């Protein structure tokens, strides 16, 4: 006789599968910086799939468990949340036109680099539908004025900084597109917080925990980012107004994350290997 698990039993089983992955990833994020957040997409412990909001996860008191608002309840997205891999990781499928999520504004995401400090790192698992689109948003604190945006440009990863007073946007752009579409890739970006006219030189871009060749475009007028009230778009670059991601984003313990420090390649490698074992 084959026993069919109830929805409640499935929920408990998934939570048990995710718990050690959460613990491992959050411990690494805390090592990068006490100020961090893991966005817990599709984890119904942090918000039902038919709810209008859900929350993130943290390890340290200096981190945040902020409110995340999807464009519509995840249960109403064109493709329902699915579960993949040995650890049954929740996966969100973005339609490339009007599905995204917004993390509420928080000072965690403001990195005052004018003084040559206040670094940041971010990472996420993506499975993009194509690499020919004009651009897709990963994580971006930009709508109107904005501060920073992490996107692709014609399939090439890019991290852009914005000085609103000077009206300039230095950035670092990968020399080539991501290695493949329709394949799970772990992407990450770090910034030293260098500030000033050579700020983009302090950016590194990663694919599967390996630094990718990239080119910085600086601007001598750049001083530093300025604090705004914009939220952080997840799967869009302009808080729901542009560069919509088309493809899959891993959630739960492998969700997008942000930390107030520079992740080392060893830390990114550890997160990557944890993710591979859980998702692929």
Q: What is the pLDDT of residue 7?
A: 65
Non-local CB neighbours of 151 within 8 Å, separated by 6+ positions: 135, 136, 137, 138, 140, 157, 158, 160, 237, 243
Print pLDDT tens along the chain (280 aa).
Answer: 333 456 667 888 999 999 999 999 999 999 999 999 999 999 999 999 999 999 999 999 999 999 999 999 999 999 999 999 999 999 999 999 999 999 999 999 999 999 888 999 999 999 999 998 789 999 999 866 789 999 999 999 999 999 999 999 999 999 999 999 999 999 999 999 999 999 999 999 999 999 999 999 999 999 999 999 999 999 998 766 789 999 999 999 999 999 999 999 999 999 999 999 999 9
Distance CA 20, CA 17 (A): 7
Give, in order, the Cα–Cα distances in Å from 258 to each of 85, 112, 234: 24, 15, 11
> Is the model's pTM score more than 0.85?
yes
Q: What is the pLDDT of residue 153?
A: 94
């Amino acid at each position: 006789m084959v026993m069919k698990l109830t929805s409640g039993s499935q929920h408990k089983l998934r939570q048990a599968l995710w718990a050690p992955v959460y613990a491992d990833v959050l411990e690494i994020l805390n090592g990068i910086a006490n100020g961090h957040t893991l966005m817990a997409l599709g984890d119904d412990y942090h918000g039902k799939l038919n709810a209008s909001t859900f929350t993130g996860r943290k390890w340290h008191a200096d981190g945040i468990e902020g409110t995340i608002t999807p464009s519509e309840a995840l249960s109403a997205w064109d493709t329902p949340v699915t579960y993949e891999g040995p650890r049954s990781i929740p996966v969100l499928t973005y339609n490339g036109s009007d599905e995204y999520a917004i993390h509420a504004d928080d000072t965690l995401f403001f990195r005052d680099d004018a003084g040559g400090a206040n670094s940041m790192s971010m990472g996420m698992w993506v499975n993009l539908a194509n690499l020919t689109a004009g651009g897709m948003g990963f994580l971006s604190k930009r709508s109107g004025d904005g501060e920073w945006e992490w996107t692709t440009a014609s399939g090439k990863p890019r991290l852009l900084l914005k000085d609103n007073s000077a009206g300039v946007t230095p950035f670092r752009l990968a020399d080539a597109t991501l290695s493949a579409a329709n394949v799970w890739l772990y992407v990450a970006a770090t910034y030293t917080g260098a500030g000033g006219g050579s700020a983009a030189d302090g950016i590194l871009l990663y694919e599967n925990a390996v630094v990718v060749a990239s080119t910085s475009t600086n601007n001598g007028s750049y001083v530093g980012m300025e604090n705004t009230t914009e939220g952080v778009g997840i799967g869009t670059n302009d808080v729901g107004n542009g560069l919509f991601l088309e493809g899959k984003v891993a959630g739960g313990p492998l969700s997008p994350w942000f930390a107030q420090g520079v992740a080392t390649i060893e830390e990114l490698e550890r997160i990557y290997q944890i993710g591979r074992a859980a998702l692929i």
